[in-house]
Amino acid sequence: MPALRVFSGIQPTADSFHLGNYLGALRQWVALQETHDAFYCVVDLHAITVPQDPALLRRRSRIAVAQLFAAGLDPERCTVFVQSHIPEHAELAWVLSCLTGFGEASRMVQFKDKAQKSGADQASVGLFTYPILQAADILLYQTDQVPVGEDQRQHLELTRDLAQRFNRRFGDTFVVPGPYIVADVAKISDLQDPSVKMSKSASAPQGIVDVLEEPASIRRKISRAVTDLDTDIRADEQAKPGVTNLLRIYAALSGASVADLEARYAGAGYGAFKKDLAEVVVSALAPIREQAEKMLADEAELDRLLAAGAARAREVASRTMAQVRDRVGFLASR
Ligand code: TYM
């Protein structure tokens, strides 16, 4: 049996990934490269659905790639590439957009959230069709599983619907992918407002821990994280969302279970708990920061790794797209 294929993507829209990206997605990516045929993509086409400065986008794309390798992706074990290097993504997105209902696209909640923030008239058509491009990313690689956080679930449902629709209409072409979502880390919350997810676009800096953040700043943010009125350290999503979020982060990074941590910190108070948590976070992230800095110092090597990744991605993408063109009824170009 050949290994199952995984595909996932991340946007280069900040100077660092954050702890939600790391725990919800990246750590799974690193684990899955051992057991799966894995493709991971820095989605710069998605990044321009909101206004981006060209120099900044270029820099952030490199920072994103450096963090992926620094977090443990191994170019020998998986394929890491930049979306815009493979024009088939945009081409397949066009075909799929012609199979997507306007009403269907209008129901995507991330668009509604983001459009509301910028004002509906300011939102681009690209932001509206963003989930269709995401479906194209996934389907081009004949993906079995997509490791993501909870916020991507609706986009994956659309992807499945489009794969099934295309297959029904034009004959079996795409693997119908499933989500790979790890419940305990699928939604890491904002440290200042645990009712919302940690988010590069929506959270205030105090609510986010960045992967590339300096230790002193990480310690400060965790010590100021919102907890709850009593002093009990126990998980309770409804009554104690702040502490529950911190316990989840601690458990995910240390390997201890939440129950172990509740027992260890019974009666200890928030101060001691947060101090230990800060050290756990700092020691998980510091090596990634150091390695990412090293990789960023050698742009030629990063570009070489990306060219190798793009070559592998192109092989699969061009094969799928050739089949799609034929199935849809486009004349072969000779
Ligand atoms: P992006 O760049 O917003 O986020 C990258 C990954 O991080 C996860 N994530 C979280 N997980 C847990 N808690 C959080 N607070 C948190 N915040 C973010 C996201 O779920 C995601 O897995 N649309 C995608 C990018 C994309 C993609 C794809 C993903 C484009 N094409 C194809 C999978 C397959 C996005 O905006 O991710």
CA of 149 to the centre of ligand 1 (A): 6
Q: Do 270 and 281 meet the contact criterion of CB atoms below 8 Å apart?
A: no
The preferred substitution site among 10, 180, 189 for testing ligand 1, maximizing ligand atoms within 8 Å of CB, is: 10
Residue ranges, the chain, pLDDT below 50: none
Q: Look at the block and give the residue holding tokens 């690689």.
A: 141
Chain position carrying tokens 């074990």: 77
pLDDT at 2: 82
Instruction: Give the residue among 123, 135, 127 at the shortest CA–CA distance from 97.
Output: 135
Q: Which one is catalytic: 187, 197, 221, 274?
A: 197
**Closest CA relative to residue 117, chosen from 56, 55, 57, 49:** 49
Instruction: Give the binding-site residues of ligand 1, using a 6 Å CB cut-off.
Output: 7-11, 20-21, 24-25, 43, 46, 134, 137-138, 146, 148-149, 151-152, 186-188, 197-199
* Nearest residue by C-alpha to atom 1 in ligand 1: 10
pLDDT at 97: 98
Instruction: Measure 302 CA to ligand 1 centroid, in angstroms.
Output: 23
CA of 152 to the centre of ligand 1 (A): 6
* Residue 200 annotated to the active site: yes
Q: What is the pLDDT of residues 10-28, one digit of tens each?
A: 999 999 999 999 999 999 9
As a residue count, the chain comes to: 334
Residue 171 Cα to ligand 1 middle (Å)? 30
The single residue listed with the structure tokens 């491009």 is 133
Q: pLDDT value at position 198? A: 97
Q: What pLDDT score was predicted for residue 60?
A: 98
What values do phi and psi take at 179, rounded to 5?
-75, 150
306-325 per-position pLDDT tens digit:
999 999 999 999 999 999 99
Compute the distance between CA of residue 179 and CA of residue 156 in angstroms, rounded to an integer.
Answer: 7
pLDDT at residue 235, as a whole number: 95
* Distance of CA 156 from the midpoint of ligand 1 (Å): 11
Distances (CA, A) of 172 to 160, 168, 320: 13, 7, 12
Q: Respond yes or no: is residue 112 known to be catalytic.
A: no
Atom of ligand 1 nearest to the CA of 133: 31
What pLDDT was estimated at residue 304? 98
> Which residue is closest in CA terms to ligand 1's atom 7?
21
Distance 326 CA to ligand 1 centre (A): 32
Give the residue whose CA is nearest to atom 26 of ligand 1.
9
| DSSP string over 280-333 | HHHHHHHHHHHHHHHHHT-HHHHHHHHHHHHHHHHHHHHHHHHHHHHHHTPPPP
Residue of 11, 15, 21 best suited for mutating to test ligand 1, as the one with most atoms within 8 Å of CB:
21
* DSSP code at position 131: H
Q: Whose CA is nearest to atom 33 of ligand 1?
A: 8
Q: Say whether 294 is catalytic.
A: no
